[in-house]
Amino acid sequence: MSIDQIDTRAPLSTLDALESEAIHIIREVVAEFEKPVLLFSGGKDSVTVLHLAAKAFWPAKVPFGLLHVDSGHNFDEILDFRDRTAQKYGIDLSVAKVQDYIDDGRLRERPDGTRNVLQTQPLIDAIAAGGYDAVFGGARRDEDKARAKERILSLRDEFGQWDPNNQRPELWNLYNGRHVPGEHVRVFPISNFTELDVWSYIARENIELPSLYYAHEREVFERDGMWWATGEFSAPREDETVVTKSVRYRTVGDMSCTGAVASEAADIDAVLAEVAVTTVTERGATRADDRISAAAMEDRKKDGYF
Amino acid sequence: MTTTPTTTQTKTLLRFATAGSVDDGKSTLVGRLLHDAKAILADQLESVTRTSAERGFLGGAFDFALLTDGLRAEREQGITIDVAYRYFSTDRRSFILADCPGHVQYTRNMVTGATTADAVVVLIDARNGVTEQTRRHLTVVHRLGIRHVIVAINKIDLLDYDRNAFAAVEAEVESLTAEIGLDTAHLIPVSALAGDNIVEPSANTPWYHGPALLELLETLPSSEEDTADLEPFRLDVQTVIRPQGGLAPGLDPEKFRDYRAVAGQVTAGRVSVGDEIDVHPAGLRTTVVGIDTADGPLETAGVPLSVALRLADDIDTSRGSVLAAAGTLPVPRRIIRAEVFPFTAEGLRTGDRVLVKAGTATVKGIVTVESKRNLDTSEPEAAEVLAGNDIGIAEVKLSAELPLADYRTHGRSGGFLVIDPQTGGTLAAGIHTPAD
């Protein structure tokens, strides 16, 4: 959008207010912490945080690097996108691999084959090894009931644990990130964006996303009301039929627990229109890991998860 | 670019908080608001329906409270422990709702929800009228300078929608607001359970002529809309942007060789290119020559936009510096007088050595407690110790001068945090009230 189109005296739109809030948070954390890092999955939320960080420090480059916890079950498109993005912004990328932990026996593969919960230990180790004291993430409060309760700056002990019953009050736009050695702070600059806000923002800012987010033809099979890609990590059972279908992903994660939705939305405007009228949350629609119980996310967060 | 009817690219945002206890029907009110505004998606509805049936409260009927109580302990105990943030939008506006706990021991969380709110909805059970908790909530929202206070008088259905019964509660509330000095509060008779006056005016209360709750929320001006053109400009400097050595890829190094800008969020008012400003602590006056964003330069920027300002003179500015419209910088003070809201069990005592974080500056401080506000009489009483959840007045001696604004007239830039230097925990909220 070019500047002469904006009436700068008009009431601020929701997106402008959310963008300014996020930029303020990112600048605060970079100014007050020694070594921040952004947890980057290649998903739309972490891509949005990176875009906001670039805007916060323009014309300087983003003053921190990226950290990816690779479950070993990622889509190739996502890994390519991740590497290209780090290069595009000219910043460092560190990768912590779940596979390394499985290979040397520190972690064991779960019977159901999902690796989502296995990411927690490599994440906490990577934070300690990197000496990161602030860890940016793209979590949003509208995603889940437990996330709805979390502060924008969320203190973690040296086990990475979140204590939901004893959170620091967060007042005005004053963030208190003080912590003792061994502790670190998770920072969620887009806490107040909804899924629709993120898509509206991606459209407005013309932010590049992995192609998985847009409708494409893929060989899939149906299970629990979701469409699963046929692949090494998600094979159909005998009674499940593989079909070629136009699908897109609403979240991108571990292939073994992330399903697609049937969709014809092949570009940003079509996706935006689809999200605006959706009747199911993105996690309910496409994440098997959050269907386990009402407290699935709370339990993982207390344990040090993203 | 297409615009869908529900896009947030043009709608304005209102942040509001709800205060009240489960017994007042607060969770039900919030659940009802979200449900009737169609902000609850099918899988969330299904999950609540299932859990309601499993638990068997209310005879297994749909329990709106389950939509909002997000933590395991909250669902188990049937109480709200912490602020939960909810999001919904109507055709006219986007809303961020901070759903605050009502239990006394969690007042700190209510303060958390309220400091970012343009409006606060305080809930009262019509059968009980004004309680000690109502008194506390209205005192806190008034002291925090919340712009719009709405009192929702709930469970009006249980009083058979009786006009006189409502009038009695109304009189109690008005006498309380007059006593604590709260000028304007909107009073609405509602039934969260039955849906009366939540989204649309109810046929059950023909004697009430005001707007339904959601209608009111859709039309209240946000703090920014109210103040951007009324208050003098202020910006607390977060950081200085100098790209030398680390220019973003794709930019021309020649063009940015000497680039230097001070970055921050406009805290109050509006700034335009060519404006004269005063800089603290340099004590010098200069001119704004550029307002930069990554999207290009702006001619003018109002609260709460995040910008980077280029200044005409090479004045010493860094994190913690304050820029203000020429002649409007508050007098920098070493000793400040403030209303304080302690949060921890230890409270706040005379002699406590603390850190004070105001805007982007953090300095050391020593506390002298002056008085405690008696919530029954709203009058201050001499005190040297304030317990958690008390409200009191304290003097804080600072290690460096700070140009704090008067919170009563300039809101956010007069608010500060009191921090424990050893644990890093937040001990109290403070609001600078020199004249009180």
Strand partners, B16: B97, B119
Common-topology check for domains B234-325 and B333-432: yes
- Do B30 and B63 form a contact (C-beta atoms < 8 A)? no
**Residues 99-138 of chain A whose Cβ lies under 8 A from any Cβ of chain B:** none
Q: pLDDT digit string (tens) for B265-314? A: 999 999 999 999 999 999 999 999 999 999 999 999 999 999 999 999 99
Min Cα distance B342 → chain A (Å) is: 11
pLDDT over 60 at B175, yes or no: yes
Residue A38: the pLDDT is 98
B83 pLDDT tier (thresholds 50, 70, 90): confident
Residue B69: the pLDDT is 62
Nearest to A116 by CA among A237, A6, A255: A255
Is A149 close to B82, i.e. CB distance below 8 A? yes
A292 touches B: beta carbon within 8 Å: no
Q: Which of B211-220, B327-336, B350-359, B369-378 bottoms out in mean pLDDT, i.e. has the lowest?
A: B369-378
Q: What is the mean pLDDT of residues B373-397?
A: 89
DSSP annotation of B359 reads: T
Average pLDDT of chain B to the nearest whole number: 88
Give the whole-angstrom CA distance, residue B403 versus residue B415.
Answer: 12
Is B248 close to A58, i.e. CB distance below 8 A? yes
Give the whole-angstrom CA distance, residue B278 versus residue B300.
Answer: 17
Q: Which of A283-287, B156-160, B241-245 bottoms out in mean pLDDT, i.e. has the lowest?
A: A283-287
- Partner-chain residue, chosen from A21, A60, A192, that has the shortest CB–CB distance to B243: A60
Q: With b meaning 16 or more CB within 10 Å and e meaning fewer, what string describes B133-150?
A: bbbbbbbbbbbbbbbbbb
Residue A9: the pLDDT is 52
B334 pLDDT tier (thresholds 50, 70, 90): very high
Min Cα distance B346 → chain A (Å) is: 15
From chain B, pick out residues whose CB is under 8 angstroms from the CB of A16: 305
Closest residue, chain B, to A152 (C-alpha): B85
Secondary structure (3-state) at B225: helix
DSSP annotation of A60 reads: B
B388 touches A: beta carbon within 8 Å: no
A214 touches B: beta carbon within 8 Å: no
- Partner-chain residue, chosen from A90, A196, A197, that has the shortest CB–CB distance to B249: A90
- Partner-chain residue, chosen from B12, B265, B416, that has the shortest CB–CB distance to A20: B265
Nearest to B320 by CA among B328, B332, B310: B332
Instruction: Identify which of B174-178, B353-357, B385-389 has the greatest average pLDDT.
Output: B353-357
Is A171 close to B249, i.e. CB distance below 8 A? no
Min Cα distance A254 → chain B (Å) is: 22
- Topology (CATH level 3) of domain B333-432: Elongation Factor Tu (Ef-tu); domain 3 (2.40.30)
- Topology (CATH level 3) of domain B12-226: Rossmann fold (3.40.50)
Q: What is the ipTM of this complex?
A: 0.92
CATH 2.40.30.10 fits B234-325, yes or no: yes
Return the residue in A178, A200, A206, A226 with the most chain B beta carbons within 10 A, the one to mutate for interface testing: A178
pLDDT above 70: percentage of residues in chain B: 89
pLDDT over 50 at B4, yes or no: no
**Residues 415-434 of chain B whose Cβ lies under 8 A from any Cβ of chain A:** 415-417, 419, 423-426, 429
- Partner-chain residue, chosen from B47, B243, B251, that has the shortest CB–CB distance to A294: B47
Alpha helices, DSSP H, located in A34-89: 44-57, 76-89
Residue B9: the pLDDT is 67
- Partner-chain residue, chosen from A13, A58, A298, that has the shortest CB–CB distance to B10: A13
**Residues 233-252 of chain B whose Cβ lies under 8 A from any Cβ of chain A:** 238-239, 241-243, 246-249, 251
Nearest to A102 by CA among A118, A123, A79: A118
DSSP annotation of B233 reads: P
Strand partners, B336: B396
Min Cα distance B417 → chain A (Å) is: 7
Q: pLDDT digit string (tens) for B22-45? A: 677 887 888 888 887 777 666 667
Closest residue, chain B, to A62 (C-alpha): B248
Residue A143: the pLDDT is 86
Give the whole-angstrom CA distance, residue A102 versus residue A112.
Answer: 15
Q: What does R_g of chain A's alpha carbons equal in angstroms?
A: 19
- Partner-chain residue, chosen from A14, A28, A269, that has the shortest CB–CB distance to B11: A14
From chain B, pick out residues whose CB is under 8 angstroms from the CB of A59: 241, 243, 247-248, 251, 256, 259
Give the whole-angstrom CA distance, residue B99 versus residue B26.
Answer: 9
From chain B, pick out residues whose CB is under 8 angstroms from the CB of A204: 1, 9
Is A12 close to B412, i.e. CB distance below 8 A? no
Give the whole-angstrom CA distance, residue B388 versus residue B428.
Answer: 9
Nearest to A118 by CA among A69, A155, A158, A75: A69
Return the residue in A30, A170, A172, A277 with the most chain B beta carbons within 10 A, the one to mutate for interface testing: A172
Is B116 close to A194, i.e. CB distance below 8 A? no
B219 touches A: beta carbon within 8 Å: no
Ordered structural domains, chain A, with CATH: 13-198+296-302 (3.40.50.620), 211-290 (no CATH)
From chain A, pick out residues whose CB is under 8 angstroms from the CB of B110: none
Residue B292: the pLDDT is 97
From chain B, pick out residues whose CB is under 8 angstroms from the CB of A61: 243, 246-249
Helices A76-89 and A44-57: crossing angle in degrees, nearest 10, is: 0
CA-to-CA separations, A283 to A104, A178, A211, A226, B64, in angstroms, rounded: 32, 32, 19, 11, 21
Is B426 close to A171, i.e. CB distance below 8 A? yes
Of B103 and A179, which is predicted with more confidence? A179
pLDDT over 60 at B176, yes or no: yes
Taking chain A (306 residues) in runs of 10, the rounded mean pLDDT of each run is 43 90 98 97 96 98 97 90 97 95 91 82 94 96 86 89 84 93 94 93 96 93 85 80 91 78 92 80 60 58 65
Is A174 close to B417, i.e. CB distance below 8 A? yes
Nearest to B256 by CA among B299, B308, B305, B315: B308
Q: What is the mean pLDDT of residues B148-159?
A: 95
Residue A1: the pLDDT is 36
Nearest to A232 by CA among A42, A74, A68: A74
The residue type found at B282 is A
- Partner-chain residue, chosen from A14, A192, A197, that has the shortest CB–CB distance to B12: A14
- Partner-chain residue, chosen from B1, B85, B224, that has the shortest CB–CB distance to A141: B85
pLDDT over 80 at B94, yes or no: yes
From chain A, pick out residues whose CB is under 8 angstroms from the CB of B86: 142, 148
Residue A52: the pLDDT is 98
Domain boundaries, chain B: 12-226, 234-325, 333-432
Q: With b meaning 16 or more CB within 10 Å and e meaning fewer, what string describes B228-246?
A: beebbbbbbbbbebebeee
From chain B, pick out residues whose CB is under 8 angstroms from the CB of A63: 246
